[in-house]
Structure 1
Amino acid sequence: DRVERELGPLDILVNVAGILRVGPVLELSDDDWERTFAVNTRGVVNVSRAVARRMTGRASGAIVTVGSNAARTPRVHMAAYAASKAATTMFTKCLGLELARYNIRCNVVSPGSTDTPMQRALWADGRGARAVIAGSPEAFKLGIPLNRIAETEDVAAAVLFLASDQARHITMHDLCVDGGATLGA
């Protein structure tokens, strides 16, 4: 109520929050699993439901969730993150199916490796970006065919498109913005 009183009706929701805890499945702490799902999944569910309740009364709106290409492709030491993003992706698609009758579109933008503080924290040194672009067969991680790390502007452009009227006939879609890293999977 307060948000809409102060800012006006919410026509667009973009779910962007995310955390990454890495480690082997059997060694990642219960707290890391809980925190990952609390932010990456439950946060999206709670905010989306609250905003969607408002949007249904107006019979219009767009919800875009920033997921991850890790939701489509297994990653070594990233099970909690990948599983949380897979749950978030499916939730957003199911929400889109249920809200379509209210003219509310729900889509996902799934970035791959993007130049953010979270990504840079994974790099051991200044060669981190090169290593990500090249891939790592021993970690079952493909490289990036377009030969560069995404910039936040690449992801933002996809979000803006899906939130805009240009995407008025697109819902339940998962737009992967990963430079080809998942080979279109």
Structure 2
Amino acid sequence: MTNLFSLDNKNILITGSSRGLGSLLAKGLAEQGAAVIINSTRQDSAEKAAEKLRAEGLIAHALAFDVTDSQAVQQAIDRIENEIGAIDVLINNAGIQRRHKFTEFPEKDWDDIVAVNQKSVFLVSQAVARYMIKRERGKIINIGSIQSELGRDTITPYAASKGAVKMLTRGMCVELARYNIQVNGIAPGYFKTDMTQALVDDKAFSDWLCKRTPAARWGNPEELIGGAVFLSSRASDFVNGHLLFIDGGMLAAV
């Protein structure tokens, strides 16, 4: 029981993890004993992020591939499985944001959001799950959002993509749980990140957010690590199809 949360000897692939929240999750999980596989669209970015972790004595690998390209995804997963080792945990973290009024939202931006935020979850999970099914074990964690449940001005396609991630999580659970594969999600609320810096700096928005959130503050990115450790470890072996909201209580409030 003392090792319920241990990640020793686990290989964890995190998409979109050369920077931002993905990089933070990689560091937090590696500090708990995992060997993390850093993914980016560029090998130099992935290798730079992995080298930074290795300099701290952590175990990290780097592999660039386009998470929206089915052939590239399959080749990358095959390479990881054959050269690094079995993928014990997959974290579908890659995501983008675009902001426009709904009636003026460019079709190209819609397509990009759906491809990265939604299609990639399907493609990477499908490729990894084939190996997990053979082993009859594995964990998949999909990064959703408070927008998996709530809408907001100028980000309707983003909310739609994150709502789809919620249902992908549940659908995958139904099909994969019989193979001892747990599929869950983490849905962050509002955190201080590069993506939200403009909102953090907007006093009117920050004041509104603090009043809207029971915790009365922005989230700190480090506060996402605990949920990721839990869902990656044996402690969550009977947790399946669940979306863990880490939002300071925002979803609970009216």
- TM-score, shorter chain, exceeding 0.5: yes
Q: CA deviation at 1:128?
A: 5.3
Correspondent of 2:231 among 162, 177, 180: 162
Alpha-carbon distance between aligned partners in 2 of 1:27 and 1:10, rounded to the nearest angstrom: 41
Correspondent of 2:101 among 16, 21, 24: 24
Compared CA separation, residues 35 and 106, structure 1 to 2 (3 A):
same
Matching of residues 1-185 of structure 1 within 5 Å:
1-123=78-200, 125=202, 129-134=206-211, 143-183=212-252
- What is the Cα-based RMSD across aligned positions, in Å? 1.7
Alpha-carbon distance between aligned partners in 2 of 1:174 and 1:184, rounded to the nearest angstrom: 17
Aligned-partner residue type, residue 177 of structure 1? I
Compared CA separation, residues 30 and 88, structure 1 to 2 (3 A):
same
Q: CA deviation at 1:133?
A: 2.1
Alpha-carbon distance between aligned partners in 2 of 1:145 and 1:63, rounded to the nearest angstrom: 30
Alpha-carbon distance between aligned partners in 2 of 1:88 and 1:66, rounded to the nearest angstrom: 8
Alpha-carbon distance between aligned partners in 2 of 1:4 and 1:152, rounded to the nearest angstrom: 30
Matched-pair contact (CA < 8 Å) for 1:41–1:85: yes
Alpha-carbon distance between aligned partners in 1 of 2:207 and 2:94, rounded to the nearest angstrom: 26
Matched-pair contact (CA < 8 Å) for 1:41–1:88: yes
Q: Which residue of 1 aligns with 2:14?
A: none
Matched-pair contact (CA < 8 Å) for 1:67–1:89: yes
CA shift digits 1:85-138 (9 cap, x unpaired): 00111011100110011000000100011111111144554675444323xxxx
Matched-pair contact (CA < 8 Å) for 2:185–2:244: yes
Q: Percent identity?
A: 37
Alpha-carbon distance between aligned partners in 1 of 2:219 and 2:145, rounded to the nearest angstrom: 12
Matched-pair contact (CA < 8 Å) for 2:199–2:206: no
Q: Which runs of 5+ in 1 are unaligned?
A: 135-142
Q: Which runs of 5+ in 2 are unaligned?
A: 1-77
Alpha-carbon distance between aligned partners in 1 of 2:247 and 2:193, rounded to the nearest angstrom: 14
Q: Which residue of 2 aligns with 1:137?
A: none
Report the secondary structure of 1:93's partner residue.
Answer: helix
Which of structure 1's runs of 4+ aligned residues deviate more than 4 A? 123-128
Matched-pair contact (CA < 8 Å) for 1:120–1:128: no
Structure with the larger RCO, 1 or 2 (CA within 8 Å, 6+ apart): 1
Count, aligned residues:
177
Q: CA deviation at 1:184?
A: 6.4
